[in-house]
Amino acid sequence: MQRMTKQRQAVLDELTRVNDFRSAQQIFEDLHRQGQRVGLATVYRSLQSLADDGRVDTLRSSDGEALYRSCTTHHHHHHLVCRACGFTEEIEQSQIESWVDSVASAHGFSDVEHSLELFGVCSSCQSKQ
């Protein structure tokens, strides 16, 4: 685990404050609006470090952009993400882990890492349609 610098703490605090997935650019802009002078490259480095330490979840948007959120669960999990509003639910399913192990084993792989994001429309957004 890396040292928690002032800039890294500011990035983590911002992610904790908003509690949804944000791009590095959005985080950078939010910090600047609050008077925090953190460079965009520093935001990217901080996000990578926080993700490596398990403090931040990362997923890819439909256009491939990396999005980040303060991690509320400190063990392996997956995400169910609303395409309409961005609401995200952390999910744990032992069946997924069993399936991953089975596929890896069938192809001669071991010590496999994975991440899974499922995208759909949440019940709140469904009721608005």
122 is in an annotated binding site: yes
114 is in an annotated binding site: yes
Are 71 and 55 in contact by the 8 Å Cβ rule? The answer is yes
Cα–Cα dist 96/80, whole Å: 13
29 is in an annotated binding site: no
71 is in an annotated binding site: no
Cα–Cα dist 45/18, whole Å: 20
Cα–Cα dist 44/48, whole Å: 6
Token pair, residue 123, equals 């019940």
82 is in an annotated binding site: yes
Cα–Cα dist 17/91, whole Å: 21
CA atoms within 13 A on the CB side of 98: 3
| Sequence ranges of the binding site | 76, 82, 85, 97, 114, 122, 125
Residue ranges for the known binding site for Zn(2+) are: 82, 85, 122, 125
Return binding residues for Fe cation. Answer: 76, 97, 114
